[in-house]
Amino acid sequence: VAITLEAGVSLGAMPVYRFGTEEQKQEWLPELASGKALGAFGLTEAGGGSDAGATKTTARLDDGHWLINGSKQFITNSGTDITKLVTVTAVTGENNGKKEISSILVPVPTPGFTAEPAYNKVGWNASDTHPLSFDDVRVPQENLLGEQGRGYANFLRILDEGRIAIAALSVGAAQGCVDESVKYSREREAFGRAIGTNQAIAFKIARMETRAHVARAAYYDAAALMLSGKPFKKQAAIAKLVASEAAMDNARDATQIFGGYGFMNEYPVARHYRDSKILEIGEGTTEVQLML
């Protein structure tokens, strides 16, 4: 549920809010901001997401319309009953020998646009995620979002804000693992006493709490800078890196504390274990954060 909201706001509505014309804002933002509709952002392709140069989806002008062809992968909120908009990045030309990437608004439904069957994922099973195909999709020329050739650069600005949101999700997951582990360690007994009295378990929980605390501090720091209008690109990357790793590490430790029960789907730590890994991948991998 959290990623549906985060992606709907950060990737669906925010690009229109930041870079849209007044007409585009009036057309799309009321429903997107109210939650009556969802938007998606189609950037990632089979051959690359972080690598803009690998973009193969194309858009060319044809009689006052953009003609879009290509495909996208792993696109959140792209196939729900209330999905009304997909912003797609596409190659619209060349500039100094490099691909010119632009963002174009594609209303849903539009002839030629298809949300393929949803992925069968390890985790985030409540999140709507599809591959997308564009087969001679025609949209008006005025559906260009922002300046032509600035699509990828503009998306990176949106991604900085999104990384703070992913850090927030990660902090919640990390703290959830702590809370579940503390509760279980007080209730579960072995050798005649609660397992939480065992120093090995107590120290593991202490490290989990430390990770959650540090991740929360990093997330608050980045968010405070963003809200005050100060540069926050580096802090957003730090928050995303620290928090997503904290979520994954805490999920692993929580599963260990729960023992065999941690591997059973009816226990919440199993869900944390499944759901946390994607936090180190989505909206910029761990490796990308280390480069910012």
In whole angstroms, give the CA distance from residue 129 to residue 170: 19
Task: Please write the tens of the pLDDT for every residue from 39-66.
Answer: 999 999 998 777 777 899 999 999 999 9
* One-letter amino acid for residue 176 of the chain: G
Same domain, 73 and 16: yes
Same domain, 126 and 2: yes
Same domain, 100 and 41: yes
Q: What is the mean pLDDT of residues 1-16?
A: 94
Is the confidence at residue 190, as pLDDT, over 80?
yes
Same domain, 278 and 166: yes
Instruction: Report the number of distinct structural domains present in the chain.
Output: 2
Name the pLDDT band for 86 (thresholds 50, 70, 90): very high
Q: Which two tokens stand for residue 121?
A: 């994922």
In whole angstroms, give the CA distance from residue 244 to residue 223: 16
Same domain, 101 and 191: no
Same domain, 248 and 123: no
Last residue of a domain, one of 86, 120, 148: 148
Last residue of a domain, one of 148, 179, 204: 148
Same domain, 143 and 5: yes
In whole angstroms, give the CA distance from residue 210 to residue 205: 9
Count CB atoms within 10 A of the CB of residue 283: 29
Query: The tokens 């405070």 sit on which residue?
Result: 224
CATH of the domain at 26: 2.40.110.10
Same domain, 104 and 63: yes
CATH of the domain at 209: 1.20.140.10
Same domain, 112 and 164: no
Is the confidence at residue 279, as pLDDT, over 90?
yes
The pTM for the full model equals 0.91
Same domain, 106 and 166: no
Among 180, 175, 173, smallest CA distance to 276 is for 173
List the catalytic residues. 283
Last residue of a domain, one of 126, 148, 170: 148
Domain that holds residue 38: 1-148
Same domain, 53 and 92: yes
Same domain, 144 and 4: yes
